[in-house]
């Protein structure tokens, strides 16, 4: 039954019952009829009250009969409220778990977008600092903790100044961009405090684009030792008659320098290139022009003692192998 029909039906039923109650009360009043030893007038009033109650009861009965929601609301409201409360209690941890998952998803989306930007930047060559790139290499030695802390602080300040110049070249005001973990710094301090000479190499953790607000870095500490000594032959290669043309000459020299760099890296050097004495190439060319049919060994010889963080400078020496 639709709502409007139900309302019309209730109105008609109420009017009918009230009319019958009024007629019945009038007849009882005229007949001088008495119920429960009441006076006829009061009996008529009682009949009218009973008729009104009958209207209310019949209306309620019909509504309960027709409307299921009303039945549930009247007779099962308490149980429903209890179940609703229990459901809310169950939902609370689920809501918290949902929030955690949403936060994780957002974090992953942010990470993915950053990775996507990094890939695009990598392909277009827009990185100003590469992952693992050295921001500063500095020698340090001390047995006093206060002095060590002061020196490390200066090294970090200089590394930050260098980083700021690369990442935010247009900003004249130098801000703190470099972020290092406190426990890494404390580990360095404890190692240096044991004594000896050391080299601190602060490296970037990840690729960095221009304008970024933070650069995450980590420090490496290495013993500052002699890598090559003055006059030491680092590497050598054979030079034969077929290598005397210009192309092979350049390839041979480059190979010798690359081999020398690999060797000093293996020993623990932090430099990224071998420096060649300026006139070495000219002297070698002059020698080849005079001796174009001679086999010999080309050696890279260190000109100075060089420690872990110091540049390695070599000259090219010609050596005739013993026959």
Q: What is the pLDDT of residues 284-306, one digit of tens each?
A: 777 777 766 567 888 899 999 99
Within 13 A of 271's CA, how many CA atoms are on the CB side? 22
State the first-to-last Cα distance of the chain, in angstroms, to the nearest integer. Answer: 120
How far apart, in whole angstroms, are the C-alpha atoms of residue 224 and residue 137?
A: 11
Separation of CA 305 from chain center: 44
Separation of CA 19 from chain center: 80
How far apart, in whole angstroms, are the C-alpha atoms of residue 293 and residue 55?
A: 131
How far apart, in whole angstroms, are the C-alpha atoms of residue 167 and residue 215?
A: 9
217 with 184: CB under 8 angstroms?
no
Among the listed residues 297, 211, 212, 312, the one whose alpha carbon sits nearest the alpha carbon of residue 252? 297
Question: Across the strands, what pairs with 306?
Answer: 228
Separation of CA 285 from chain center: 55
How far apart, in whole angstroms, are the C-alpha atoms of residue 104 and residue 101?
A: 5
pLDDT value at residue 153: 92
Residue ranges of alpha helices (H) inside the chain are 3-31, 40-66, 68-75, 77-124, 145-167, 182-193, 246-267, 280-290
pLDDT value at residue 76: 63
257 with 281: CB under 8 angstroms?
no
Backbone angles phi, psi at 201, to 5 degrees: -125, 105
Strands 296-302 and 233-239: antiparallel
pLDDT value at residue 5: 63
How far apart, in whole angstroms, are the C-alpha atoms of residue 266 and residue 274?
A: 14
- Count Cβ atoms below 10 Å from residue 153 Cβ, excluding itself: 11
160 with 176: CB under 8 angstroms?
yes
pLDDT value at residue 238: 83
Q: What is the pLDDT of residues 183-237, one digit of tens each?
A: 999 999 999 888 889 999 999 998 888 888 889 999 999 999 999 999 999 999 8
268 with 308: CB under 8 angstroms?
yes
Read off the pTM.
0.54
Which parts of the chain have pLDDT scores under 70?
1-41, 43-45, 47-48, 50-78, 80-81, 117-126, 241-247, 291-294, 321-323
259 with 253: CB under 8 angstroms?
no
270 with 201: CB under 8 angstroms?
yes
Find the angle CA(273)-CA(276)-CA(280) to the nearest 5 degrees: 160
Backbone angles phi, psi at 307, to 5 degrees: -90, -175
How far apart, in whole angstroms, are the C-alpha atoms of residue 205 and residue 185?
A: 15
Place of tokens 């998952």: 101
């Amino acid at each position: 039954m639709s709502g409007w029909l139900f309302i019309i039906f209730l109105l008609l039923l109420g009017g009918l019952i009230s009319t019958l109650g009024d007629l019945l009360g009038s007849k009882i009043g005229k007949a001088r009829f008495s119920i429960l030893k009441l006076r006829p007038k009061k009996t008529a009033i009682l009949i009218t009250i009973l008729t009104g109650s009958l209207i209310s009861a019949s209306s309620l009965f019909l509504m309960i009969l027709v409307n299921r929601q009303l039945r549930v609301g009247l007779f099962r409201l308490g149980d429903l409220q209890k179940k609703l409360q229990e459901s809310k209690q169950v939902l609370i941890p689920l809501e918290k778990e949902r929030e955690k998952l949403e936060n994780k998803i957002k974090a992953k989306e942010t990470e993915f977008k950053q990775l996507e930007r990094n890939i695009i930047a990598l392909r277009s060559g827009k990185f100003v600092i590469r992952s693992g790139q050295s921001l500063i290499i500095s020698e340090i030695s001390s047995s006093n903790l206060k002095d060590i802390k002061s020196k490390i602080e200066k090294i970090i300040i200089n590394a930050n100044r260098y980083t700021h110049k690369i990442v935010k070249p247009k900003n004249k005001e130098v801000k703190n961009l470099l972020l290092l973990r406190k426990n890494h710094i404390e580990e360095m301090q404890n190692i240096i405090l044991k004594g000896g000479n050391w080299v601190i190499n602060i490296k970037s953790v990840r690729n960095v684009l221009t304008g970024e607000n933070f650069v995450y870095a980590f420090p490496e500490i290495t013993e500052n030792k002699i890598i090559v000594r003055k006059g030491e032959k680092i590497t050598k290669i054979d030079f034969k008659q077929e290598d005397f043309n210009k192309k092979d000459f350049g390839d041979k020299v480059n190979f010798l320098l690359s081999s020398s760099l690999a060797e000093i890296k293996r020993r623990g050097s932090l430099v990224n290139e071998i420096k060649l004495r300026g006139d070495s190439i000219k002297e070698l060319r002059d020698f080849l022009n005079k001796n174009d049919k001679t086999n010999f060994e080309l050696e890279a010889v260190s000109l100075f003692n060089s420690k872990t963080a110091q540049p390695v400078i070599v000259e090219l020496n010609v050596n005739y192998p013993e026959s």
